[in-house]
Chain A
Amino acid sequence: MSLLAADRVTIARGQRVVLRDVSLGIKAGQVLGILGRNGAGKTTLLRALAGLQSIQSGAVTFDGTKLTDMPPRQRAQRIAYLEQSGSGAWPIASRDLVALGRLPHRPLYPLGSAKLNKQDEGAIDRALAATDATDFAIRSIDALSSGERARVLLARALAGEPKVLLADEPVAALDPGHQLGVMHMLRNQAQAGMAVVVVLHNLALAARFCQRLALLVDGALLAIGAPQEVLSDANLAQGFGIAALSGTAQGEHYVLPWRAL
């Protein structure tokens, strides 16, 4: 049984249909990668899964309940959304930024003390530890490198201890070392029982770190399934207009984009 599921979701922006009849499900413990060209509808799909997007037809359900029927705070406690190239508007300390992830668990109108309780503090500490960001927790997010900031933003999403994590291109703009680091962290979260959905452009990372992949073409689902099936020559040609080299190394599947068709 899928924890989070999209059922025949169609989304239009004005006259243009940006997502057409997309159905997919994510189980706890899995990493699902969403692939597709620029403009294929990946971010729209992720926003729909997060309940941030109004849907023309179809529905997104969490554990059988439609997101639109869930109180926003209840939804926020279960589903975390990591925005693409997100940042903070103000140069607050990293730990303060991570603490924002606890907002769905805290009263919205605090009278009296605005202090975090023990449970909040514990969740924040665990999130910082999981993303290896404890060392720069007291530094302002402005004083961090992009790799460090990406980890702090991920920690913010984890601090709410959600059941589902939706991450939009969390490794864009990171060097290869940090890309691998973040993907490892996502895989660890899935192994700990979280359902993780991640939008990716890097096929090599998608092939290695995701149990399942969904490939979007012009807003429609071209293929969904295990990486080796989805990243077939025919799908890569139709989905990206490329040919790729692929193989197995150290027991893991890899795909290397080789040339444009």
Chain B
Amino acid sequence: MTRSFKPVWLALTALCLMLFIVSLLTGPAGLTLDLPFAAWRGDAAARLVLVELRLPRALLGLLVGSSLGLAGAALQGLFRNPLAEPGVIGVSGCAALGAVLVFYSGASLAMPMALPLGGIAGALVAIALLQLLALRDPRLATILLAGVALAALAGALTALALNLSPNPYAVVEIVFWLMGSLADRSLQHVALALPFMAVGWVLMLSGARSLEALTLGEDTAHSLGIGLRSLRLRVVVGAALAVGAGVAVSGAIGFVGLIVPHLLRPFFGHRPAPLLAASWLGGGILTLTADIVVRFLGGDTELRLGVATALVGAPFFFWLVLRGPRSDMRGGT
């Protein structure tokens, strides 16, 4: 029904802000409530920790998570399938491959920013391939399956790069990076990823009404005056920009785009349009939470964020599949 979603919006926004602050206050050894006061009083070390370490981490948690959540909701709406996810259509995989190739070539040692650029380039290659295919055969099911194949190919090529690597140090570095993490990032990373993400967000959000029409199928959406080609272009390019930039600076953090829209859908009457902005906030909330939890778990070796989301997300994916062809699993035609 067209009821008001205001309380849900307020709750999501408040939760997101609260988690952002908690993330700023959380260190490798748990909460540090006195840190902001120390920084305020002019403690240079405290200020360094807050601005150089905590702030980039919290910001990236918010931005990468938002990108993944929004991209998940937009792709699920486009494919009319609750199992669609940036990882599934090969965008994350190709972004990771692009970044791995930069690692492999050693360019990342000479120029640290080559890494994010490699990730974005990989994501753009993925979209270009999917778009070329869409020109030949515009059915969404075909594009979805091609994305699955593309993800597998990116995985194989990444493994090949590791396999052939003459430098064991590089292999260790790549493997750790692939696990996904927000630790040890700088504001430079934020500045590099944010413009791409912002453009991606706008492109995806602009498709809200059209995605709503797509609830009724492609023919009916077309008959309602929706330009399907433009919608497809906006959502796929937008998802690739946002996710590509995110993967490039944080490594592979999977399943956020799968879980977030699924959890939020009932709160918005299962409608695709309000779900977009909600998943944008929700992705930030989930990623910030996960990143706080891995820090609290502590230990000598910090649990990688990507490993943590996969450990929770993969069984969730299984559960979604096993639950069978229920109502909200019907799409994907």
Contact = CB atoms under 8 A, between A and B. Distances in A.
B269 interface: yes
B34 interface: no
Interface centre among A73, A88, A142 (most CB of B within 10 A): A88
A258 interface: no
Given A47-B219, A72-B225, A109-B206, A91 B212 contact: no
B1 A103 contact: no
Nearest to B223: A81
Contacts of A88: 215-216
B30 interface: no
B185 interface: no
Interface stretch (A93-101, A128-136, A170-178, A241-249): A93-101
A52 B219 contact: yes
Interface stretch (A26-34, A110-118, A197-205): A110-118
Interface string B201-244: 00000101110111111011011111100000000000000000
Contacts of B274: 114
A81 B216 CA distance: 11
Given A72-B225, A110-B209, A156-B216, A90 B270 contact: yes
A86 B209 contact: no
A76 B224 contact: yes
A114 B273 contact: yes
A157 to B, nearest CB: 9
B1 A96 contact: yes
Contact of A99 (B2, B210, B327): B2
A143 B330 CA distance: 14
A6 interface: no
Contact of A52 (B223, B227, B270, B272): B223
Interface size class of B (residues with CB under 8 A): 20 to 34
Contacts of B208: 110
A83 B215 CA distance: 13
A26 B330 CA distance: 36
Contacts of B216: 83, 86, 88-89, 97, 100, 156
From B215, B223, B265, residue with most partner A Cβ within 10 Å: B223
Contacts of A77: 225
B271 interface: yes
A75 interface: yes
Given A47-B219, A89-B80, A90-B270, A100 B212 contact: yes
B327 A91 contact: yes
A103 B328 contact: no
B217 A93 contact: no
Contact of B2 (A76, A95, A110): A95
Contact of A93 (B223, B224, B226, B269): B269
Interface centre among B215, B216, B269 (most CB of A within 10 A): B216
A58 interface: no
Contacts of A101: 224
A218 B222 CA distance: 27
B28 interface: no
Contacts, number: 103
Given A52-B222, A73-B225, A96-B271, A116 B212 contact: no
B138 interface: no
A143 to B, nearest CB: 9
B331 interface: yes
Contacts of A79: 223
Nearest to A50: B223
A75 to B, nearest CB: 7
Contacts of A50: 223
Interface in B282-333: 327-328, 330-331
A87 interface: yes
Contacts of A100: 212-213, 215-216, 224
A103 B217 contact: no
A148 B273 CA distance: 25
Contacts of B222: 52, 72
A99 B270 CA distance: 14
Interface string B230-265: 000000000000000000000000000000000001
Given A52-B223, A90-B270, A114-B274, A83 B217 contact: yes
Contacts of B209: 103, 106-110
Contacts of A99: 2
Contacts of A95: 1-2
A92 interface: yes
Given A89-B80, A92-B215, A103-B213, 4 more contacts: A52-B222, A79-B223, A81-B223, A86-B216
Top 7 A-B pairs, shortest CB-CB distance: A76-B225, A81-B223, A89-B331, A89-B80, A73-B225, A142-B327, A72-B225
5 contacts: A90-B272, A100-B215, A106-B209, A110-B208, A160-B224
